[in-house]
Amino acid sequence: MEGAGGRSLTAADVVNDAARSARARVEGTVGGARFAVERVTRRKALARLTLEVDGEDRTGADARLTQVACLGAALRVPDVSHACKKCGCSGRCPRPYL
């Protein structure tokens, strides 16, 4: 995100003056799999980052590991041209993020 003058926003910029923290949640589907990513930040630092895929918590031990899990889920290709080792389907896998 960018603020006025093209500078990057800090956590203090996004937390309301009357609040202790700010929360953003994004939900959607990718390749038929439901996902939710939630970020909670305080004025000084990230408080929590969570990832849920098809109802399963995929949150890492820390924010960095959760970011890696988010990136990994985003890079997985849902089109599988061979028998899926995860669920045994063939063709387009309905659960590519298992």
The tens-digit pLDDT sequence of the chain (98 residues) is 555 566 787 888 888 888 899 898 999 887 788 889 998 988 888 888 899 988 889 888 888 888 888 777 665 544 434 445 556 555 555 555 54
Nearest to 62 by CA among 76, 44, 50: 50
Contact of 34 with 55, CB cutoff 8 Å: yes
How big is the chain by its Cα radius of gyration, in Å?
Answer: 17
Q: Give domain limits for the chain.
A: 4-75
Q: Residue 85: which residues within 8 A CB-CB, separation 6 or more?
A: none
Q: Parallel, antiparallel, or unpaired: how do β-strands 33-42 and 21-30 relate?
A: antiparallel
